[in-house]
Amino acid sequence: MTDNKFSIILPTYNRGDSYLKDAINSVVDQSYTNWELIIVDNNSNDCTDSLIGSFNNNKIKLYKINNAGNIAKSRNLGIIKSTGNYIAFLDSDDYWNNKKLEICNKYFLNNKNSGLCHAENWLDEDGQETYHMYGKSHIFDYKFLLERGNCLSASAVVLPKFFLNNVGLFSEDKKFITAEDYELWTRLAKAKNNIKYIDSMLGVFRVHSASESHNIIKNTIAVIDVIKFHHDDGVGSKIDACISQAWLNSAKNCHVNGNYKLAFNCYIESIKYKFKIQVLFIFLLLIPNRIFKNIYSKYRG
């Protein structure tokens, strides 16, 4: 098959007067045109309906849901309604480069049994951008995901639909809320599905206070629940080390966002499970945030 169809799953709630228009425009403006955009709206009470209607595009499909704060339910409804052979995810506060699907299609013509995760620019509320390459191809691995945490962004992931047919959809278990994507990636890796990382910057990930992933402690607890659920001594990982790394990742996120008190608490939580390099980062709390942010962005990129 040379003419792949992409089903783009976009869950949203009350983003009609802020970010949603940019997200939809970034799909409508794609140079590759064989796509459908499935918007799953959690019964917004703003201008979402009128905004979507203003596009007057029969490739945009709108479904309503009451997901009770569980975005996995919205994503799963979108997947169930999809007709494409590839599934792409786009959160309503993110947007894509207009050649994303064209580049992805060329990739999949030569890599039919692989998914991909591309690089993104992270855009903060001050308008500062940071290039993020999420990983190298060899690290989409079950053991690595447990030991190091989530290394994919949902808005940067495109998968063959048969991957999801084989392993199932997003878990709707409430304890995984905010980490439901991490749980799915871990399940895909355990089943030996292949996801490659490419360094092409094909989208923008917005970092802001209203995002689901912004509540760092809530997300960390959900991540730890994923680790506990999937942990298997057979992969050679020590569960305490995995949990320590989860707290360390959260501490560094708090640190780079200037929340030094919460960062310190997360570093201490990390030390409780396994002592490693946390003391170095605690020492770095003494330097100005803008300097640490610059160092950390280069380290992450």
The contacts of residue 226 (CB under 8 Å, 6+ apart) are 176, 179, 182, 183, 186
DSSP 46: S
CATH architecture of 6-211: Alpha-Beta Complex (3.90)
From first to last of its 301 residues, what are the pLDDT tens digits of the chain? Answer: 458 999 999 999 999 999 999 999 999 999 999 999 999 999 999 999 999 999 999 999 999 999 999 999 999 999 999 999 999 999 999 999 999 999 999 999 999 899 999 999 988 777 777 778 888 767 789 999 999 999 899 999 999 999 999 999 999 999 999 999 999 999 999 999 999 999 999 999 987 655 444 588 899 999 999 999 998 755 656 899 999 999 999 988 888 777 888 989 999 999 999 887 777 778 778 777 667 666 665 555 4
The contacts of residue 47 (CB under 8 Å, 6+ apart) are 16, 17
Q: What is the pLDDT of residue 2?
A: 57
CA separation for the pair 64, 29 (Å, rounded)? 24
Task: Return the domain boundaries, the chain.
Answer: 6-211, 238-300
The contacts of residue 52 (CB under 8 Å, 6+ apart) are 24, 39, 60, 62
Q: What is the pLDDT of residue 212?
A: 45
Q: Which residues sit opposite 135 in a β-bridge?
A: none
The contacts of residue 55 (CB under 8 Å, 6+ apart) are 24, 28
Q: Model-level pTM? A: 0.90
Question: Cβ(72)–Cβ(176) under 8 Å?
Answer: yes
Helix and strand counts by DSSP (H, E) for the chain: 12, 9
Strands 95-96 and 157-160: unpaired
